[in-house]
Structure 1
């Protein structure tokens, strides 16, 4: 293990909605942590939307995480629930006769922690996406008991979405260790002012620093996005008291 890390750190990446850049930011954080000399691994525990290549099912988000991580996990460990239809996970699972269970995900995370210095776990959709009739992704985050990074898709309405997500994270007893502004709407008026408003509120209410503001990238490029993120600040937050579960 790298001498820069005291124990293994893990972080749960969630977002204010679907398609707001969780995978881009997760991959960018992996690149940034790699640059610090750390062994990184990624989990995408539940992925909905798969295509077959040479007899093997792939998910674009999971493949992007694999490309960014320095330690590539076996597909069944990285994504224990790979669903074929690109729809809400609980609906895709019902179509395939699959029950989305938390226990296998916890087991995969435990194995991943044995292989890397830092494990980035990317959620699915927003913070409260249904997994079953009774469980959602907030329950998964609680079961993993990990600090959380919130990706905010910068567009009209994002301030309310971000503050509601932060409130839900805190209500579950989880620590919001930072947030990332991802500029999904390049024409958003007063984008910098919106980032400043959110930064003030998230820092004041949740002690969650801004880890970076990723500009609109076409096409999305995790290595380029990594230049706009402070991976060292995230690592410090993860290693601080109470950020890493025992």
Structure 2
């Protein structure tokens, strides 16, 4: 049970879904790892650069993992990953990410990999997040951040995922804008146009935890 979590854009809820999926896998008794290969937006600590989302993923992984195993490429500024990598003079190495992922496959039965930004975010001068997903050969779950404009973003992303050849297992509606007008109508429009199942609807939550998010999600059937 391995999944790649992508989204319509940044801050759409990918980490929420990653943690929720990890929780569902753990509840099935599976050795579960989360991986956020690239993170841009980190705090400087005595242990080095640490990204809050990657820390949450590390904390839920069981058996436990080191931070570097979860997040091999971490950058301080919250900017596009390829720009952060260039600024730090530390290029993102997709072969290294692939090696790390394969090591996790040897020790964990379920792995949830979270992308950065959206599906076509550049990582190197030649490759993007879609290329990383193809390297890992993972099926995709799309997180749609429900806000004005999400229909266009979602349908374009679905089109790009299908064009890449990776299977789209389903999508999740995350209410990032609690006051979005006609949110239900937007969801119904997407259900009609996306030929993959809706795997969950996450409301705007006052308190967030993997256990709570998991109650709003279901794992893909295949």
**TM-score (normalised: structure 1):** 0.86
Distance in 1 separating the partners of 2:212 and 2:2:
23
Measured in 1, the distance between the counterparts of 2:200 and 2:84 equals: 33
- Kept after mapping to 2: 8 A contact 1:11/1:147: yes
Once residues 137 and 33 of structure 1 are traced to their aligned partners in structure 2, the CA distance between those partners, rounded to angstroms, is 24
Tell me the distance in 2 between the aligned counterparts of 1:99 and 1:112: 22
Q: Which runs of 5 or more structure 1 residues have no equivalent in the other structure?
A: 1-8, 238-246
2:32 corresponding residue in structure 1:
40
Equivalent residue, structure 2, for 1:209 = 197
Find the partner of 1:223 among 201, 204, 211: 211
- Residue 179 of structure 2 is matched in structure 1 by 187
User: Which blocks of at least 5 consecutive residues in structure 2 are unaligned?
Assistant: none
TM-score by length of 2: 0.95
1:156 is aligned to 2:148: yes
Say whether the 8 Å CA contact 1:13–1:149 is kept in structure 2: yes
SS in 2 for 1:177: strand
> Secondary structure, in 3 states, of the residue corresponding to 2:2?
strand
Residue 114 of structure 1: SS of its match in structure 2? Answer: helix
1-structure distance, mates of 2:71, 2:47: 17
For 1:30 and 1:101, the matched residues in 2 are separated by 25
Is the 8 Å Cα contact of residues 159 and 198 (structure 1) preserved in structure 2?
A: yes
Return the offset for 1:162: 0.6
Match of 1:102 in 2: 94
The answer as to 2:64 corresponding to 1:76 is no
The answer to whether structure 1 residue 174 and structure 2 residue 180 are counterparts is no
Residues 1:87 and 2:75 are matched in the alignment: no
Q: Which runs of 4+ in 1 moved over 4 A?
A: none
Question: What is the CA–CA distance in structure 1 between the aligned matches of 2:88 and 2:146, rounded to whole Å?
Answer: 34
Measured on the aligned residues, the alpha-carbon RMSD in Å equals 1.3
Deviation track 1:127-162 (CA, whole Å, cap 9, x = no partner) reads 011112221111111111110000000111111111
- Total equivalences in the alignment: 222
List per-residue Cα deviations over 1:156-180 (Å, max 9, x = no partner). 1111111100100000101000111
Tell me which residue corresponds to 1:4.
Answer: none
Is residue 2:106 matched to residue 1:120? Answer: no
Shift of 1:78: 1.4
Q: Give the corresponding residue for 1:24.
A: 16
Deviation of 1:218 (Å): 2.6
State whether residues 32 and 62 of structure 2, in contact with CA within 8 Å, keep that contact through their aligned partners in structure 1: yes
> 1:79 deviation in Å?
1.2
1:63 aligns with 2:55: yes
How much has 1:57 moved relative to structure 2?
Answer: 2.5
